[in-house]
Amino acid sequence: MKILIILVICISLLACKKETSKQMEYKRIQLEKQRDTKSNDSITGLDEIEFQREQSLKIKRESILKKEDDQEELKELVLSKSFLKDEDCYLITFKYPYLNEGINQSHANFNSYLEKDYLDIEGVEKAILEKGEVVCDSTRTRDDRSKKMVDYKIFSLDDKLISVLFYNETYYHRKPYPSYSFDSFNYDLVNSKFMKYEDFFNTGSEEELREILNEVLSKKIKSGEIYYDCWEISAEDFYSSKDNFVINNLTVEYFFDDCVICPAYTGTFSVSIPLELLKPVLKQHNSNPLLL
């Protein structure tokens, strides 16, 4: 059984290079508990590894899929479209929002950007072929293919702004775990334009906002609301993701890819900051939808 535990820990390390000895000890203890609840003969070593893997994936998926959004309330404005490319060696599925141009012709700006620039199917194919080491052969099953699946959540702020969160679930051939990454867009419905960090926050306020974000994150860690061995966001990681947020229920929710703020298996990808805490860095301009 000691050998089995070491194997599980090694597989977990592949999911996130930032895992520490504390995290591995935590997983070892959890695995021991799961083993003790089962009879010694009821499950094989390989079954137990697969069980641990499935539990981790379930936590990660559910943290995203169960997130409530405003899609139902926006059903007249937002139509869902999808794209499928089903090849022998890989599968690509995209689901994305399409704004009703019958309501406002200028919504074409949003639709055109998503379909022509963001989706970039050719670029996705190239990445899968390169990173996934895709090789078509007679031994490959369709379940063993590299896969990229993209879906979205959408949020609304007082009919003035929509925030779109794309979540990417990517499986590469011969990799034991999928990877998760996120892209978000904030779109001004009144002026028909995409908004960036500087449209909401003071220019040069990145470090101050990062400190606010880390204060919120630290409190959640200390309270036990999220896993105790998550870590504060670095300056490098924040600057590369400073536009990766959505406006949701009077909060600014920042999203980060696998392993940026927490071990991959925890399913924690975001930090929500109440607008009240962001007042010192909010841009004081009447075009800022966060100035309610």
Instruction: Kindly report the CATH number assigned to the domain that includes residue 180.
Output: 3.30.565.40
Quickly list H helices, the chain: 2-15, 21-36, 45-65, 108-113, 121-131, 197-200, 206-223, 235-240
Say yes or no: 49 and 10 in one domain: yes
Say yes or no: 97 and 190 in one domain: yes
Domain-embedded: residue 72: no
How far, CA to CA in Å, does 212 sit from each of 180, 184, 205?
Answer: 25, 20, 11
Contact 162, 189 (CB under 8 A): yes
pLDDT of 21: 45
* Cα 215 to Cα 205: distance, rounded to the nearest angstrom: 16
Domain-embedded: residue 287: no
Say yes or no: 181 and 238 in one domain: no
Say yes or no: 17 and 91 in one domain: no
Domain-embedded: residue 88: yes
Of 248, 244, 255, 241, the residue nearest 289 (C-alpha):
248
Which of 153, 171, 194 is where one domain is finished?
194
Taking residue 245's Cβ as centre, other Cβ atoms within 10 Å add up to 26
How far, CA to CA in Å, does 183 sit from each of 34, 48, 120, 133, 232?
Answer: 35, 34, 14, 24, 20
CA atoms within 13 A on the CB side of 221: 16
Which of 42, 65, 88 is where one domain is finished?
65
Number of domains composing the chain: 3
Domain-embedded: residue 89: yes
How far, CA to CA in Å, does 130 sit from each of 133, 172, 241?
Answer: 6, 10, 24
Domain of residue 30, residue span: 2-65
Say yes or no: 236 and 173 in one domain: no
Say yes or no: 182 and 211 in one domain: no
Say yes or no: 161 and 266 in one domain: no
Q: Which portions of the chain are predicted below pLDDT 70?
A: 1-57, 60, 128, 131-143, 173-174, 176, 264-265, 267, 292
Say yes or no: 18 and 113 in one domain: no
Contact 92, 148 (CB under 8 A): yes
Say yes or no: 49 and 94 in one domain: no
Say yes or no: 184 and 91 in one domain: yes
pLDDT of 8: 39
Domain-embedded: residue 179: yes
Domain-embedded: residue 70: no
Say yes or no: 167 and 205 in one domain: no
Rounded CA Rg of the chain: 21
